[in-house]
Structure 1
Amino acid sequence: MRRGTRIFLIVAVAAVVVIAGALALFTPGYLPVVPGAVAIDPTTQTLKKGEYLARAGDCVACHSDPGGKQFAGGRPMPTPFGNLYAPNITGDDETGIGKWTADDFYRMMHKGLSRDGTLLYPAMPFASYTKVTREDSDAIYAYLMSVPPVSQKNRPHELRFPFNQRDLLIGWRTLYFKEGEYEPDKNKSAQWNRGAYLVEGLGHCAMCHTAINKLGGSKTSEEFEGGMIPNQNWYAPSLTSNREAGLGNWSIKEISELLQVGVSPRATVYGPMAEVVYNSLQYLSDADVEAMSVYLKELPQHDTGAPPPSSARLVSPNVMELGRKIYAKQCAMCHGDEGKGNPPSYPPLAANQSITMSSPVNSIRMVLNGGYAPGTKKNPQPHGMPPFSHILNDDEVAAVVTYIRVAWENSGTPVTPAQVSELRPLIPE
């Protein structure tokens, strides 16, 4: 039995339990519709609030193709199941959401259903957006309707069978989607609840920082425990492990700086997280970023004991010496002979949790492809790291990454040339 067929049967079994009743609920023409469109107050205050919330939700990142017009859609979103294309969400009547009402928009955010009742694929983070309040949804709708409409047809998705069968999403929703607005925790402060609302809802942070399975779903019990970002080949570290990106021993100021500025004395963001900071988090108020930091810092932590000892003794002396020489020639000028760096411009490599994570993917990619922290309002001229893929071969990259992961009592593990070879063909974003 082929793998695709096996996955199809798994999804079908999950769907059959609920498909009869669910089809009646989700089939176009049978949607529960609130009579009458809600009139949205198109005041400047409402539009500014909607723009701010759209920034918090990072809507522009998916719904704007690089080089194209904002919110006009068309950006390809690679998934393990094929390419999805983000739709046009400008106010154009024919190709956008110009004919949508505030009720339609809220139902899309809250239930993951398009205006005609079509089930949305979970690449649209409705599993998080369902927590957004009606008031905030209406403000985002008002803002999007104020954006100059763009006439640009939506591209059809390119998903393999059976993943192009939308009815099977009923099974996925049964397993992984819980509808409902955010309910404040009465035992927590207003600041903590604001942070939880932003992180769990509009921020949809768990989408990257939680591993997904072969069906594209994730368990609530594993939220924020880290995982590979499908088709981007970056690892989103665990926010609950102090051996990865756990924040238990970070200050609120350090977390806030990383989220809003992109750099802090403790770390620097690169890859997909740099895009989030650039498009979204840098525009949030200091109060909201601090609230998010308060919430994130209180996530349950594990791996709080002393880190394991350095794995340097497991590395061949020849590999260590090669890595040391490459580091001295190519890296020490910025990161220092002892890996202490010069933060925030040049992050430390010694005692840096992002360097010693169990997954070496991000470290390998940085050596191969280089990268820049995002240019933000509070850090408009970020320092960057050059790529070394054209200078170093697989053995040399593996050696220098291994050296960095085990030197200075770092508790990482060695890297193999095969791991480098697997990542080398990737074109940097």
Structure 2
Amino acid sequence: MASLELFLVVGASLLVSLVLSEAIERLGEPGFLGEIVAGILLGPSVLALIGTTDQTSPFILIATIGGLLLFFDAGYQQISLDQLLAAFRPVLIIGLSGVILPFVVGYVIGTFYGFGLEASLYLGLILSVTSVSIVVRTLLALDKLDTQYGRWILGASAVDDIIGLLGISLLPLFFVAGGTGQTLSALGLAVLFFVALVVFYRFLLDPIANLLANFQVDEADFIAVLGLLFVFGYASNAANLSYFIGALAIGLIVSTNKRLEGKDLQSNVYGIAYGVFIPLYFVAIGARMDLGALTISSFIVVFAIFGLLSNFAAGYVGNLLAGGPREHSLIFGFALLPRSESGIAIVALGVTQGIIDERIFVAYLVVFVISVLLTPSLLKRAVARAEASGSVPSSTNDSSG
């Protein structure tokens, strides 16, 4: 993509998403749906102005910065690290529920339709990776991310992604010669990443903040924080995890330092994130929906219905097992519904590697489109229903969890 064409794509994406977001907001739905619809219109489904087959294209890389900033902001301004850690038990229960039930359902469907062992396992794993970005943006729009259920959902989705993405990364290694050594190496990378996070938090964060206090460069804090965001986003991706894990983690960690959580820095992050990059991120999600590639078969219908039901049931039952209020179960059910946008690239890679065939790619695309488009509205109504029952506190800063 030539540089001037990139300017056109970015400009058109921002303007079209702005108009559509305003229209959808006036209809009473979450406005960022307009950004997704803009992506559908500008992507291969209609105008083909945005191409998403090359994950290293300039537009996709720019849009990915929006994903980094979205999760960084969730950890930096919206969620307390102490409160998230205090909810470890329910987060783990809901997260495991969100992995186990969809995995079993996906595996059974694959076996029933005659797929091999590796493809059936893959089918189960891709159902267990949640699109937390859709849920985070919806809860942010409703000002409900920093609630008990908001923290539980965010933590559980992180658990889902860590397990699911690690599983997908490691699966091929079990079916090739020398796979055990490679498997241990991949697991070691993930462990090393989390060790690096702990070391940074315990020993490096405060010295770096104190050092920055002596800098005379304008916006030194802002530059340093963004630098850390990109480094840890890259590191988590290199460790076979989603980049959002690194972005969320560094946001949570940086927010614990009194100097680096200043209002001026927060304002800078918010402006650049929601004014430019985050809208582009959701435009890119919409552009990944190539509606022309969708076909219907019994396998696709069964996979879509039971795949979505398994994710809804995982969230609904997970909340009950974790001891959450019954009135919140619908919220959790819908929160675990959307499939990951990165899953499209993962499934496409699986096709290229010969692990799965095109039927699974199309089936996943169907589930992705349905879940992403329905979740914001369904989640908004579930929250409203819980509020009407009196189970959701009016303040978003409740201390439960």
* Class of the TM-score when normalised by the shorter of the 2 chains: under 0.3
Structure ranking higher in strand proportion: 1
- More relative contact order in 1 or in 2 (CA 8 Å, sep 6+)? 2
TM-score (norm 1): 0.23
